[in-house]
Amino acid sequence: MKTPANIGFVSTRFAGTDGVSLEAAKWAEVLWESDQHVNFWYGGLLDRDPKTSLCIPEAFFGHPENRWINDRIWGHTKRSPAVSRRIRALSDYLKETLYDFRDRFDLDLLIVQNALTIPMHIPLGVAITEFLLETQMPAIAHHHDFYWERRRFQISAVEDYLEMAFPPRVPNLQHVVINQAAWEQLSWRKGVSSLLIPNVLDFDNPPPQPDEYAADVREQIGLAPGDLLILQPTRVIPRKGIEQAIHLIRRLRDPRCKLVISHPAGDEGLEYCRQIRDLAQDEGVPLSFFGSRVAERRQINSEGQKVYVLNDLYPHADLVTFPSLREGFGNALLEAIYFRKPVVVGRYPVYIRDIESKGIRLPSLDGFIDRQVVAETRRLLDDGAYRAELVEQNYQVAQRYFSYRVLEKSLRLLIQNLRNLSE
């Protein structure tokens, strides 16, 4: 393996603001900044530089051929010969494109981002597994969320492929997980050892001050000068527990508090979105859905309005709510800490084991909003000195455990292990 190496990132998608795309970009940044490793991109949907990318539409989990397959394998325990043939045909084609990717960019190492973890694209996972078996190419599998963590993958007609490729046991493949529970489950279910690397942010370089473009965010949301912006920086889906944020604001009994949700509802959350809107109305909590004005890049929409990025909203927030029931890690929580904002958090399992245990101190919801949480939240809003002390303490803890320095050290260890294996 050359020093520096040519590294190929592989997934179904590297585009937008999903967690996998964001973390992959951080890995690529650290690999380049620390050791000048050159990064290339393979996927079915890409927003990377075309000169360093290979876009194969069939590799996207939303491609019609993969959707046809998924409709016939999930929620069923029997698959037809036609489904098996089409899995094999698509897998064989994708494997050839992986060979093309390797040869076009003279790759030394692959980093597979979640494509060997969550089985949204069975043929791609099979193709990657067979490619690694055939080439013995050094590789890292970065696992974000496993199929056994998702209800929709519990009944399937592809148990053979799940055992084979999600994730596989192949030589020269190093496994990385993002939380302690995943580390334990991977060892127990697959007999595979892994390295735990949490999600990270560049805590050694604080965010810049808001610029002129984002100066009017509060006005555009519709807030009055004395209002408090309570930011819910998530999609509108049930596991985000947004109803808890509404209940909390109602109990604060502070007419200045306005809840703003930064992301739109997806297919999973359309009914939930309606429920949240109705609940806020019933509870008397002012609620704004601002997702149509937030995207992965700044732009002007068809109506001539500014479109912001999420980082434009954080500096204007007076409080961030993150009452999630389940998260693989919790990027929005790290982002709020990075912007030195007070947060009310749900004590989801990963938060308890992997974040709170490091010394992060936040008002937390443990299935119930009690008087203490309400009092702590009110103090964060009203007591500037207390708020400044708490957010600074949390920033220092996060800088120690969730910074780019942690990622840089871990990636160097992984690459050195792979070099030793390939010698």
Q: What is the DSSP letter of 416?
A: H
Question: Domain limits of the chain?
Answer: 6-200+404-422, 217-401
Q: Residue 74: is its pLDDT beyond 90?
A: yes
Report the pLDDT value the prediction gives residue 161, as an integer from 0 to 100.
Answer: 98
From the list 19, 27, 47, the residue with the least C-alpha distance to 410 is 27
Q: How far is CA 196 from the centre of its chain?
A: 16
Architecture of the domain defined by 217-401: 3-Layer(aba) Sandwich (3.40)
Q: Which residue has the tokens 């959350």?
A: 269
From the list 166, 171, 186, 144, the residue with the least C-alpha distance to 327 is 144
pLDDT, average across residues 278-297: 93
Secondary structure E strands in 233-309: 257-261, 287-289, 299-300, 306-307
The pLDDT-based confidence of 421 (bands split at 50, 70, 90) is confident
Question: Token pair of 314, please?
Answer: 């954080």
Q: How far is CA 311 from the centre of its chain?
A: 15
* 167: exposed, middle or buried (Cβ count in 10 Å: 0-12, 13-18, 19+): buried
Q: Please state whether 36 falls in left (phi above 0), alpha (psi between -120 and 50) or beta.
A: left
Q: What are phi and psi of 304, to 5 degrees?
A: 80, 15
Residue 99 in contact with residue 131, Cβ under 8 Å? yes
Q: Which residue has the tokens 């030793």?
A: 420
Question: Token pair of 159, please?
Answer: 């148990």
Question: Token pair of 139, please?
Answer: 């590789």
Question: Token pair of 59, please?
Answer: 């590799």
pTM of this prediction?
A: 0.91
Beta bridge partners of 8: 40, 110
User: For residue 205, what is the enclosing H or E element?
Assistant: none
Identify whether 171 is preceded by a cis peptide bond (ω within 30 of 0).
no
pLDDT, average across residues 78-85: 97
Q: What are phi and psi of 38, to 5 degrees?
A: -95, 130
- 270-297 core/surface letters (b: 16 or more CB in 10 A; e: else): eebbeebeebbeeeebbbbbbbebbeee
The pLDDT-based confidence of 423 (bands split at 50, 70, 90) is low
Residue-wise pLDDT for 148-160, tens only, equals: 998 889 999 999 9
* 85: exposed, middle or buried (Cβ count in 10 Å: 0-12, 13-18, 19+): exposed
In this chain, the answer to whether the domains covering 6-200+404-422 and 217-401 adopt an identical fold is yes
Report the pLDDT value the prediction gives residue 420, as an integer from 0 to 100.
Answer: 83
Q: Residue 242: is its pLDDT beyond 90?
A: yes
Q: Residue 269: is its pLDDT beyond 60?
A: no
From the list 112, 144, 31, 111, the residue with the least C-alpha distance to 404 is 31
Q: What are phi and psi of 234, to 5 degrees?
A: -140, 170
Residue-wise pLDDT for 326-340, tens only, equals: 998 999 999 999 999
User: For residue 228, what is the enclosing H or E element?
Assistant: strand 228-232
The pLDDT-based confidence of 295 (bands split at 50, 70, 90) is confident
Q: Residue 42: is its pLDDT beyond 90?
A: yes
Q: From the CB of residue 405, how many other CB atoms can be counted at a distance below 10 Å? A: 17
pLDDT, average across residues 102-106: 98
Provide the pairing of β-strand 299-300 with 306-307. Answer: antiparallel
Architecture of the domain defined by 6-200+404-422: 3-Layer(aba) Sandwich (3.40)
Angle (CA) 57 62 63, round 5°: 45
Residue-wise pLDDT for 373-386, tens only, equals: 999 999 999 999 99
Q: What are phi and psi of 50, to 5 degrees?
A: -60, -25
Q: Residue 245: is its pLDDT beyond 70?
A: yes
pLDDT, average across residues 237-250: 95
What residue type is 123 in one-letter code?
P
Helix axes 81-104, 64-73, angle to 10 degrees: 140
Percent of the chain with pLDDT over 70: 98
From the list 152, 158, 147, 148, the residue with the least C-alpha distance to 123 is 158
Beta bridge partners of 288: 260
Residue-wise pLDDT for 177-195, tens only, equals: 999 999 999 999 999 999 9
Strand order, beta sheet including 343-346: 287-289, 257-261, 228-232, 319-322, 343-346, 364-365
The pLDDT-based confidence of 266 (bands split at 50, 70, 90) is low
Q: Residue 267: is its pLDDT beyond 70?
A: no
Q: Which residue has the tokens 């490091």?
A: 358
Report the pLDDT value the prediction gives residue 2, as an integer from 0 to 100.
Answer: 72
Task: Look over the chain and give the mean of its residue pLDDT values, rounded to a whole number.
Answer: 94
Report the pLDDT value the prediction gives residue 265, as an integer from 0 to 100.
Answer: 75
What residue type is 1 in one-letter code?
M
